[in-house]
Amino acid sequence: MERKLIEVAYEITHRCNLRCSHCYNARNLGAHNEMSTQQVLEAIEKLSAFGVEKLKIGGGEPLLRRDLFDIYSAATQAGFEISFSTNGLLVKENMGKILKHGVKKVQVSIDGIEEDHDLMRGRRGLFRIAKEAIGLLVQSGVSVNVATTITSSNISSLERILEFCEDKEVSKWKVMKYIPKGCGDSLLPSKEGYESAVKKLLAKKDKWEGHTEIIVAREYDRICHPPDYNDMQCFGGKSFASLKPNGDVTPCSYISDIICGNLTKDPIWKIWNNPLMLMFSRDCYDDTCKFSARCRGGCKAVSYFLSNGKEIGCDPYCWVKEN
């Protein structure tokens, strides 16, 4: 495929008001490692001029940046398709700004029901607050997506989370793959358990007639919907890049140490054509898997972390080729 930067995931801050067990955010870096408002606005102009179409703002917790909505408005005026993610803690106190700035889409993280969610995210009562936040957003006409990362802690609760999403009139439920922090990560489910859980979701999706759209990330959904197989591949360095709080650009949101340049210092064309970016964009193949030519290796971050940063290759945790 022709390389063209279409989507950028901007981690607007490392600051966060939670300590989630499965998070990859470098929370310890704090506010001193962030671009200034002016630098962010200049970065938005550069991305727009380069033809970027989508900007997804995450963190950290985006609502901890006081200039979030100034940045949001600038990105909207620049023509970006834009959304931001949140843990829900600060939504209620920011509803006025959310409505004033015409926010159309917000993603809220839900990784369990009641105390299960609280335990994973390290704060008692958080589920109740996130639930209220989702209700306020939906009632105000904001489209809400819920994101759930499958881990060993919540793998048995997925159907309950779907029921919650349907009850709250959530637009989309995005079920995401857990990216392990290394070998022996206790949050990584067994491959067999992972396969079983996702197949149950796919079976439910095939018969689903509810309001909430079910999106099962990467290879799992592709088994039942082969025309969409293209979505299995990693788009890092092909049409996607990650922008870090300090302006560093990497090909993958999960991998922070493959730095291809800094948007406050380097021309974006030079960053996009950095040898590391080009290296990461290359497809990976497994001769023993009949789907390899379609998925092109799947998620490269899994191989990177399970090899302790020594390898960027086919996803070693994928179970599709055994099927």
Mean pLDDT of 204-229: 67
Does the structure show a pLDDT above 80 at 220? no
Q: Are 84 and 75 in contact (CB under 8 A)?
A: no
Mean pLDDT of 14-33: 74
Residue 19 pLDDT class (50, 70, 90 cuts):
confident
For the segment 95-154, what is each residue's pLDDT rounded down to a tens digit? 999 999 999 999 999 999 999 999 989 899 999 999 999 999 999 999 999 999 999 999
* Structure confidence at residue 207 (pLDDT): 81
* Structure confidence at residue 76 (pLDDT): 97
Residue 28 pLDDT class (50, 70, 90 cuts):
low
Does the structure show a pLDDT above 60 at 218? no
Q: Which pair of tokens denotes residue 247?
A: 């302006």
pLDDT higher at 322 or 93: 93
Supply the Cα-derived Rg of the chain in whole angstroms: 19
* Structure confidence at residue 203 (pLDDT): 80
* Structure confidence at residue 230 (pLDDT): 46
Query: 112 — phi, psi (to 5°)?
Result: 170, 180
Residue 260 pLDDT class (50, 70, 90 cuts):
very high
Percent of the chain with pLDDT over 70: 91
Residues 6+ positions from 183 with CB-CB distance below 8 Å: 306, 308
* Structure confidence at residue 215 (pLDDT): 86
Helix (H) or strand (E) holding 71: helix 68-77
* Structure confidence at residue 81 (pLDDT): 96
Short-list 167, 56, 175, CA closest to 109: 175
Residue 322 pLDDT class (50, 70, 90 cuts):
low
Q: Flag whether the pTM goes above 0.75.
A: yes
Output the average pLDDT for the chain.
Answer: 89
Rounded CA separation 28/241 (Å): 23
Rounded CA separation 9/191 (Å): 28
Q: Which pair of tokens denotes residue 45?
A: 């102009």
Rounded CA separation 178/158 (Å): 14
